[in-house]
């Protein structure tokens, strides 16, 4: 992969990271994927590709910096599970007392989505071997 390709992919990841940081408090409620700075699939693809390049670099150069970046990419990939089609967002903010049970079920769905994204990244790692 050429360095300009990596630069383009890391730009996508950086803008996604900035967006996540600015919206951290909204994540537990789900955020419309239409608000992302790039299409969700483009972010997913960028993270996968950069992750695989970094994983290869880490095998050659076992540095803490690369290890930390890999961990950040893994977490960023899992966070994609918080970004939903607008029709799937059930809460716009903190639930009321009467909504607590429904919110717990909703949180479980979001957690499952995160785990699904973690599994997708694991599949990408396996394909790269």
| pLDDT for the residue 4 | 72
The residue among 92 and 83 whose pLDDT is bigger is 83
3-state secondary structure of 31: strand
pLDDT beyond 80 at 3: no
**Contact of 16 with 36, CB cutoff 8 Å:** yes
Residues 6+ apart with CB under 8 A from 115: 78, 81
- Checking if the pLDDT of 129 tops 80, the result is no
pLDDT tens per residue across span 95-104: 888 888 888 8
Query: Under 8 Å CB-to-CB from 79, ≥6 apart: which residues?
Result: 20, 27, 114, 117
Instruction: Please name the helix (run of DSSP H) or strand (run of DSSP E) that holds residue 83, with its range, or none.
Output: strand 83-84
Instruction: Convert the pLDDT of each residue in 108-118 to its tens digit.
Output: 888 888 888 88
């Amino acid at each position: 992969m050429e360095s300009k390709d990596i630069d383009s992919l890391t730009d996508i990841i950086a803008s996604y990271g900035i967006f996540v940081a600015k919206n951290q408090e909204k994540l537990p409620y789900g955020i419309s994927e239409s608000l992302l700075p790039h299409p969700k699939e483009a972010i997913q693809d960028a993270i996968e590709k950069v992750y695989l390049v970094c994983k290869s670099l880490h095998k050659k150069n076992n540095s803490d910096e690369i290890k930390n970046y890999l961990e950040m990419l893994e977490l960023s990939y899992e966070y994609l599970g918080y970004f939903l089609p607008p029709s799937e967002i059930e809460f716009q903010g903190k639930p009321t007392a009467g909504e607590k049970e429904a919110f717990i079920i909703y949180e479980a769905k979001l957690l499952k989505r995160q785990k699904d994204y973690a599994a997708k990244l694991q599949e990408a790692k396996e394909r790269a071997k």
